[in-house]
Amino acid sequence: MESALGGQGQAPQAVRNLSNLWWLWLVSGVFWVAVGLVILQFDQASINTVGILIGLMFLLTSLQIFGISTLVDRGLRWLYWIFGVFMLVAAVLAFISPENTFAALADILGFLFLLVGVFWVIQAFATREVNDLWWFGLIAGILMIILGFWTGGQFFIDKQYILLVFAGIWALLQGFTDFGKAFTIRQVGRVV
């Protein structure tokens, strides 16, 4: 744990500082669940609205990844930055042309879900020593990888509605994993 936070003397203080912000993950989880529920409630939603919501999802995921990257060992930081840049590029593309987000995103959605799933699996294994709920991140990551392969194979007829359902599922999984992270971070802070 100390090596992941950058030094022996700095680790307990860094953990205490991070644990004081546990509620940010809780707020983030509430936001993600709300976004997921809003997306899943659309019957015939405006393509622009959904494109912007999906762009926000990618942007917030990118910001979370960049934020977490400041807390990890410099040797692993590049991995977080790669995933963060991918999510940021996806957000920019969604904001540039929200009306075309469905068509463009449906074609690359499988790849993006696969990236998110791989990142969640790596993160689950990397934090298993300090995170009692690491297995939840692992399960969520595996589900995202399955969604990625299924979406990439385009085994569906109506891309728009499936895209909405998958984006909603992604948001819900992100929200629930953030809930787990919030309480794990709080618990680790109390132990230190």
The domain ranges of the chain are 2-191
- DSSP-based three-state secondary structure for 156: coil
Alpha-carbon 78 to chain mean position: 17
Name which residue leads in pLDDT, 3 or 174: 174
- Looking up tokens 């891309």, which residue turns up? 159
Cβ neighbors of 76 (< 8 A, separation 6 or more) are 4, 126
Could you read off the pLDDT of 90-139 as tens digits, one per residue? 899 888 887 777 666 666 777 888 888 999 899 889 888 887 888 888 99
Could you read off the pLDDT of 9-37 as tens digits, one per residue? 566 777 777 778 888 888 989 988 988 88
Asked if residue 120 lies in contact with residue 65, where contact means CB atoms within 8 angstroms, the answer is no
Strands (E), the chain: none
pTM of the model: 0.57
d(Cα 184, Cα 176) in Å, to the nearest integer? 12
